[in-house]
Structures are given as C-alpha cells and as structure tokens.
A and B are shown apart, each in its own frame.
Chain A
Amino acid sequence: MNAKRYLRLLGVQLKASGLLALQYRADFLAEGLTSLAWTFTALAPLFVVFGARPSIEGWTFQESLLVVGWFTLLQGVLEGAISPSLTGMVEHIRKGTLDFVLLKPADAQFLVSTQRFLPWRAVNVLSGVGLFVYAFVSLGRWPSLPGVFASLVLLGTSMLILYSMWILVVSAAFFVVKVDNLTYLFTSIFDAARWPSSVFRGSLAWVFTFIIPLALMTTFPALALLGRLPWTWLVGAVVGSVAFAAVARWVWLMSIRHYTSASS
C-alpha cells in the first residue's frame, strides 16, 4: 500500500511540474535549444580531437560517440529530474521552509527529490539515444542483446550514483548554507564524464574511478554496448552503486537529524 501511495504522490508531483513548465512557454523553446546546444558542445571537441587522431587510448570516434551518448542521456536525467528538485531543497534550507516539508507525512528525501521536474530535458535523453543509433549505424553492427541488457542495468546504477552524489552534495547544504555553487561544482566535474575514462591517467584516473565514479557512469555502459565489459565489472558496478546509495541515504538521515530549523 505504501509503494502505491508513493507512486501516486510521484504522479501528482510530475503533473505539477508539467503544468509549471507549460506556464513559461518562451522558456520551452530556449530550453530545447540549450539542450541541443549542449549536445553540440559535447560533440564539437570530439570532432576536433578525432580530427587529429583516428583513435585515442583505444577508442575510435564511433566508440567515443557512445560515451558522449551516455553522457548526454545522463545529463538529461540529471538536469531534468535530479537537480531542479534538489536546488529547490537548497532554497528550502536557506529560507527555512524545509520545516514544512519535514512535517509532511511522507519520507522527506522522497518529497524533496520529486518536487520539481523539467520535462523539456527529455530532449537530452532523445539526443543520447540518437547518438547511439548513429554510432552503431556507422560502426556497421548492432549491440548484442546481453550487451543492451547490461547497459540498461548500468543505466540504473549510474542514475543511482548520480542521485546519491547529489544527495551528498545537498546534505552538505545543512552545514554550508550557500550550496548553489557546490551544485555548480558538481556539474562541472560531471563534465569530465563525456570522455572515455582511459584518457585520464595517474591520480585523475584514480579519483574518477573510486572517489567520483565517473568511469562507471558513462564508460562502463558504453563498453557494455560494445560487448567489451567483463561481467565482473558489471557485478562490481551494481554492488558499488548500491553501497554508495546506502552511504548517501545514511548521510542524509544524519543531516536531517542534525538539522535545526531556521527558527530554533
């Protein structure tokens, strides 16, 4: 019964966001344009880089296109579903209106993470899929069924990690109130995920695999589509992301407990 209630709640929140998005019609066009423009930015350096070399660190142009595809898709998820709500959460903390959310008879984390969606960002998801199709057409083959399945599993784990990282950033908002630049920081770090992770060497490689698991979010699914991802990595990704999410949830609960409202 609980799950059903939360699903209904999600439906209500989605509808509200949809109506809100329709309110600013001029923004719609601009939003679509930015989505497309971002896809283009993701591609422009790729063309330039591969104009200089046929392959970089074992990745050809078409294969890197898959990484960019996943990057674009996840960016759509991030900007359309995750960050608007959590930016709203930061506002709540600053204005002291979070108390109203905490008083509501539903899980606070659920409420703050579903309060706002930007439906127009779905353009990003579509252009990500478009990139996959284009990449595979020019590769002259299609991904194997297990490969597609593995990449879908990894899509789930990437979203989980992305969301958990975001929750961690927002939990930090309880301690350092001005966090809108923290979210900006996160977005700019996520930018590095548009490149195959083998490009990064040394300490950067270590950070992007273990501390901020960018490799897991875009490079792994691309490898899976290419049928080059070892099964052990897939298992590792699932276990790792679930552990990561558990840590994020724990940190969130701790932060909520430490939260003293604006008035007290």
Chain B
Amino acid sequence: MSLRTALKALPTMLRIGFSEAVAYRAEMIIWVLATTMPLIMLALWSAVARGGPVGRFGQAEFTGYFLAAFCVRQMTSSWVAWLVSYEVKQGTLAMRLLRPISPLLAYATEVLAGIPLRVAIVLPVLGISLWVAGAERAVPTSLGGWGLFALGITGAWLITFYLNVLLGTLSLFLESSQKLMEVYMVLFFVCSGYMFPVEFFPPGVRTVMEWLPFRYQMGLPVELMTGAHSAKDAWALLGAQWTWVLGLGVVSLTVWRRGLARFAAFGG
C-alpha cells in the first residue's frame, strides 16, 4: 500500500463511515446514553460540594468539569479493541487484509467519521455547561487556550486509539482479550479523571497517575478545556502526553505487525 492510494481513498472512506454512523444513529444514541457516568458523578460531587467547596472545586467548577468530561469522552471514544478482537474471532479480518489499505487506517476513519454526529450531541451539553457553569469554567477563553485544548484532545484520541489497537491485537496472542479490556476499562475509570479530578488523589498516588497514560486520555483535555493550568504547566503535561502518543504508537504498530504474522498462520 502506498501513501498515495491511502490518501486518495481517505475521503471516500470517511464518507462511507459517516453514512454508516447516520444509518446506525439509534445505536449511537444508546452508546452515548451508556456513557452518562460523568453526569452521575456530577450529581454525587454536587451533593458533596453542597457543604462547601472541595479544593478549588465548588458546584460550578464540578459542573464545568464533569460536563467537559462527558464531551471529551464522546469525542475520544474508540471501540477498535472490541472490533479487532471480534473480527479476529470471526475471521473477517482476513477480508480487511485483502484490501489495499491498512485495516488500522480503516478502523481509524470509521471512528473519526462518527465524530460529526457526536459533535451534534456534545454541542447542547456544552451549551448547558456554558449557561450553568459560566464560560470560563466550560471552555477555553483564549485562542491559545483553544490551541492547547485541540492539541490535548488530539493526543487523547490517539492514545485511546493506540491502546485500543494494542488491546485488540492481543486477542491474536491470547484466545480472548475481552477480560483484558475489562481490566483496562476499570483502570481507565479510576485513573483517568473520569470519576473524579485526578488532583483529588493523594500526592504519592498522583505521581503514579502522571506516569500512567490514562490521565492523558481524559483528565488532561478536560483540565485544558476548563482552564485549570497555566500555559507553562499545560505545555509540560502536553509533552508527557505526546511522549505517550509516540511510545504507544510504536508499540501498538509493532504488536499489530507481529500479530498479523500469527493471524496468517490461522488460515494458511
């Protein structure tokens, strides 16, 4: 596969992906409803904040944080791990491999093509957040802030995608990586800032969190969206995030190649 074929096919693939997303819109709505955890956590933390602020978080800050978490989850969610392990099990991955375009690129466009529809869901939530929490707690207020946020959410998307590829590909080595995905979800929920801001961890645990990839999938873009960091801190965190992006990119692609070599052995 040359880069040119891939680039030429990209718009078509995105268009197909978008049509598919629209065709299965009911399914997407259900997925969105299934990711309402931030709203439940919002209710919980609001109850906590009724007695006074927690750290720098009052009612309005919690609203801004968790609605941002909801939005970030919508924009960065990825189901590629599940898809890969399903296609390996069913053997349909073979059909994807016959095409002159890398399956990984196909998966990526499939996820990306769903984003316009997800934006349509995110916008009203963002509106509510702006109204309830105020602009400075809901979105970046400067152009530079938007730039940092864009960088952060792109990095978050890539980390999530690569982790998904890695988990999915492991199903080529183990019989099933379903359980592994569950463990991953658990870690993601606790460590990423999805259930509560990462800064609520005690200092020692927080250092561990900074070293793990999870907080860069959720916490960092949310914090950038709600303007929690100075530009200097933001750049340092973004540096750590993009180091993870590069590292995971290399690892997941390597594992994918090795895995494919094994996959060929199934049929041939």
Contacts and interface: CB of A to CB of B under 8 A. Distances in A.
Interface in A203-220: 204
Contacts of B201: 48
Interface residues of B, number: 35
Nearest to B51: A53
A204 to B, nearest CB: 6
B183 to A, nearest CB: 6
A52 B200 CA distance: 9
A187 B40 CA distance: 13
Nearest to A35: B182
B48 A27 contact: no
B47 A56 contact: yes
B200 A48 contact: yes
Given A45-B196, A57-B47, A181 B41 contact: no
Contacts of A38: 186
A177 B134 CA distance: 42
A62 B123 CA distance: 40
Interface stretch (B24-32, B105-113, B137-145): B24-32
18 contacts: A31-B179, A33-B183, A37-B182, A37-B183, A38-B186, A45-B196, A48-B196, A48-B200, A49-B48, A52-B54, A53-B48, A56-B47, A57-B47, A184-B31, A185-B33, A188-B37, A191-B40, A199-B44
Contacts of A176: 26
Most chain A CB inside 10 Å of its own CB: which residue of B34, B41, B189, B200 = B34
A108 B112 CA distance: 42
A254 interface: no
A165 B180 CA distance: 28
Q: Please give me the 6 A-B residue pairs with the lowest Cβ-Cβ distance, nearest first.
A: A30-B179, A185-B34, A52-B54, A37-B186, A199-B47, A188-B34
Interface string A123-140: 000000000000000000
Contacts, number: 84
A195 B44 contact: yes
B27 A181 contact: yes
Contacts of A253: none
B174 A26 contact: yes
Contacts of A57: 47
B176 A27 contact: yes
Interface string A23-57: 01011001101100110110011001101110011
Given A52-B54, A53-B54, 15 more contacts: A27-B176, A30-B179, A30-B183, A34-B182, A37-B182, A44-B195, A45-B41, A45-B196, A48-B200, A52-B200, A181-B34, A184-B30, A188-B35, A191-B40, A199-B44
Given A185-B34, A188-B36, A201 B51 contact: no
A199 B37 contact: no
Contacts of A34: 179, 182-183, 186
A8 interface: no
Interface string A173-193: 000101001101101110110
B34 A184 contact: yes
Interface string B42-85: 01111110010011000000000000000000000000000000
A39 to B, nearest CB: 10
Contacts of B45: 49
Contacts of B54: 52-53
